Structure 1
Amino acid sequence: MSMAGDTHFWDRISRKYAMSAIADQAGYERTLDRTRALLGPSDRVLELGCGTGTTALRLAGAVRDYLATDLSAGMIAIANEKHAAGLVPTLAFRIATVEALAPDAGRFSVVLGFNYLHLVRDLPGTLRRIHALLEPRGLFISKTPCLGHMNPLIRSALLPAMRAIGKAPYAGVFRAADLSQRIRAAGFDILAAESHATKGNDNRPYIVARKR
């Protein structure tokens, strides 16, 4: 499946995605609280892969500017519907990929990527672009499924088969240690790596990294 196919996949399931429940609500609330504590009223925040805007709507009121982006027009349409129902003046939604944001280099004090990095096709390149978008000493905060810890049969057989028939998007396979190494290689110092899961076997490290 190509990037265009990924976009079509997310557009197609956007309404179903918007109605789905968060699997670990307590873990999600912990992530929000931890992130909110790292944000300040003067911060300019970029969220990549914002989906239907749930996280953006919860966090944007505490910062100066918050730009939430996603490659899916369907996801952004739902996010804007939510935003219209409870307007947050500091928040804007935009259909965009990290590549399209190059003119904003050095603009943001914080970049967020929740459930995002495993979906990008060029992880090293994406991390370098995130680094470029941050101002000096800016923060990159992520919480990403590390599929390298998944059952090998599911990882190597089921997921590729589902992608081949359009039932799943692209998903990169890496372990938590690999992800940390790649973040450092892109020019970041890792300040914290935490688990926020409150149930189940969740290999989604919450990572706070600072631009060198």
Structure 2
Amino acid sequence: MHQDAKFWNRVAARYAKAKIGDMPSYERKLEVTRSYFTPDMEVFEIGCGTGSTALLHAPHVKHIRATDISEEMIAIARTKAEAEGVTNVSFEVAAIDDLDVPNESQDMVMAHSILHLLENRQAVIQRCYDMLKPGGLMVTSTACLKDGLGWVRFLLPLMRLVRFAPSVVKFFSAAELEKEFTDAGFSVAYKWQPGPKKALFMVLRKPE
């Protein structure tokens, strides 16, 4: 089991009930993402949580393969998909390192609220680049904690002690993250930050 799977299993039910903090920004991100969709798209999602975003996007694409390290999160996602009658999203318990995804097989990769929780972020970005078809897209929304939220670093030991934080939380700036994408070969197609200390939303494109 992945080192933080136990944490996410434990908080899954509470996570599923939590309301989105900034709904207008979330809806804008959904809208922008959909502007890049085509009905024949194969989409891969890393860190899908309880599946909310994948299920909202499902009507607009051919298929979404959504993954998460938490069995409990995936169980909730599958229940929601069944209740909503969504059949073109497959939910899997897996870390990206453990998945067999052929190179140049995906039209889009989504990675929301996950990159700052990865030990090997640069390797994952490169893996996403490799699995995309030429001209494929990576869509991310990422907390760049180095930009005005560095103080969180000092709270983490206490938060972990009371089991309120996972073991891996990485601190980097929006500029550093963007450089990691361009170093991997991506170009920036769209970039938006709703405000200071808000997650950075990006659409990255692999060259044709």
Name the TM tier (shorter chain).
over 0.9
Q: Tell me if structure 2 keeps the 8 A contact 1:146–1:174.
A: yes
Query: CA offsets per residue over residues 81-120 of structure 1, 9 Å max, x none?
Result: 1011012222111111111223433211100011111111
Query: CA offsets per residue over residues 110-135 of structure 1, 9 Å max, x none?
Result: 00011111111111111111111111
Write the mapping of 1:65-144 to structure 2, written as runs, cut at 5 A.
Answer: 65-144=63-142
Q: Could you tell me which residue of structure 1 aligns to residue 180 of structure 2?
A: 182
Q: Distance between the aligned counterparts of 2:92 and 2:104, measured in 1?
A: 18
Task: Supply the AA of the counterpart residue of 2:96.
Answer: V
Q: Is the deviation greater in 145-154 or in 56-65?
A: 145-154
Q: Is the deviation greater in 91-100 or in 171-180?
A: 91-100
Q: Tell me if structure 2 keeps the 8 A contact 1:102–1:129.
A: no
Q: Could you tell me which residue of structure 2 aligns to residue 36 of structure 1?
A: 34
Q: Distance between the aligned counterparts of 1:39 and 1:83, measured in 2?
A: 20
Q: Distance between the aligned counterparts of 2:115 and 2:96, measured in 1?
A: 11
Give SS of 2:55's match.
helix
Task: Give % identity.
Answer: 36
2:160 is aligned, of 160, 163, 180, to 163
CA drift of 1:190 comes to: 1.2
2:199 is aligned, of 189, 192, 204, to 204
Query: CA offsets per residue over residues 30-88 of structure 1, 9 Å max, x none?
Result: 11111111111011001111100100110011111111111100100000010110122
Bigger share in helix: 1
CA drift of 1:165 comes to: 5.3
TM-score (normalised: structure 2): 0.93
Q: Distance between the aligned counterparts of 2:124 and 2:105, measured in 1?
A: 17
TM-score (normalised: structure 1): 0.91
Give SS of 2:158's match.
helix
Q: Could you tell me which residue of structure 2 aligns to residue 48 of structure 1?
A: 46
Q: Could you tell me which residue of structure 2 aligns to residue 173 of structure 1?
A: 171
Supply the RMSD in Å over aligned alpha carbons.
1.6
Q: Tell me if structure 2 keeps the 8 A contact 1:124–1:182.
A: yes
Q: Distance between the aligned counterparts of 1:172 and 1:203, measured in 2?
A: 16
Q: Tell me if structure 1 keeps the 8 A contact 2:67–2:93.
A: yes
Q: Distance between the aligned counterparts of 2:7 and 2:140, measured in 1?
A: 23
